[in-house]
Amino acid sequence: MTLPLDEAVPPMDPPPSPPRRARSAGDPVKALLHRHRELCEHAVDPLEIAAGLEAHGITDRTAARFRHRDVFSLAEELYARTPRDGTPPAPPAGIPVHAKAVRGFGYALLPGALALGAAAAGVPWAGALAVLVTVAALGRPGRAAGGRFPAAVYLLAAAALGWAVHRHGTPLGTALAVAVAPGHLAGAVFAARARRRLAGSRALEDFADGVRPLLLGTLALYAAAAAGAAVLAGTTPAVAVPLAVLLLLTRLLLGHGAPRGALAAALALVLALLPVPAAPFAAAAGVLVPAVLALSRASAHAQRP
């Protein structure tokens, strides 16, 4: 006796489905791109992205988690993957770079010319004028460090220079005003060479190792120029040179928007107010270390409008 076919052969269970593949961990670079979309969309080149990532605490070691050997390689991928409608971002519109440099140097000559003219004319407020024009040459208030401390830095700079000129006479103020022009050149050369070194770097540590001696060499040359300005104005270089170096470092920290740079400059200027002979030298030495650390970061050299 035969059984019906459906009873003779028991129904077979459906074959087990193949194990579902575990979902991939996703695209970490895409997540990073989403997190820093504004930075990537407004960057002129990958170097700006690298500097911005470093400012957010991403180092070469962190880049390894995104399967990149360094921050620069990661920035290049972020730049390439940022949608731009087929056209690269245009650089900030405005006055050409060479015209800005010429105009800036012309402005840098004004403080020394005004201070020398007032001192030669024997006007009673020549020292105050020298302090005013020297402090004004530090830059634009509110531009640096996110606008957190620059107003206080300007007030402290005026107080420190006013106190020094009160103690040592108008020639000191004149020397500092004359030193504005070489200070402008020193800052411009340092910024250009640091930017060029940034373009040729492949690791943040290599960039920092190259920028530190560049900054120290720039300061040494500027100190020699400040000493010449002191001799020209008829004051002692022992006081004028430390104050001039302090002002140059303050200007660099403000102009490059270095993190916590304005605060370091403010503390050094407070130290310069102490009524002791070594105060200017101690203030310049005190701001040197934080300035070297801050200005050797790639984020301090991103292009700014």
Per-residue pLDDT tens digits for 23-77? 335 677 888 888 888 888 887 778 788 888 888 888 888 888 888 877 888 888 8
Checking if the pLDDT of 190 tops 70, the result is yes
Nearest-angstrom CA–CA distance, 161 and 168: 10
Q: How confident is the model at residue 185 (pLDDT cuts 50, 70, 90)?
A: very high
Q: Are 171 and 235 in contact (CB under 8 A)?
A: yes
Q: How confident is the model at residue 21 (pLDDT cuts 50, 70, 90)?
A: very low
pLDDT: is 115 or 87 the higher one?
Answer: 115
Mean pLDDT of 91-117: 77
Q: How confident is the model at residue 303 (pLDDT cuts 50, 70, 90)?
A: low
Write the burial class of residue 18 (CB in 10 Å: 0-12 exposed, 13-18 middle, 19+ buried): exposed
Least confident window among 13-22, 97-106, 169-178, 278-287: 13-22
Maximum alpha-carbon separation in the chain: 135
Residue 277: phi and psi, rounded to 5, are: -60, -35
Checking if the pLDDT of 145 tops 50, the result is no
Nearest-angstrom CA–CA distance, 273 and 164: 8
Least confident window among 5-19, 53-67, 147-161, 240-254: 5-19
Handedness of CA 176, 182, 188, 191 (dihedral sign): negative
Checking if the pLDDT of 213 tops 50, the result is yes
Q: Quick one: pLDDT at residue 87?
A: 55
Residue 204: phi and psi, rounded to 5, are: -65, -35
CA 189, distance to chain mean position in Å, is 14
Checking if the pLDDT of 15 tops 80, the result is no
Give the percent of the chain with pLDDT over 70.
81
Mean pLDDT of 236-240: 95
Amino acid residing at 225: A
Q: How confident is the model at residue 140 (pLDDT cuts 50, 70, 90)?
A: low
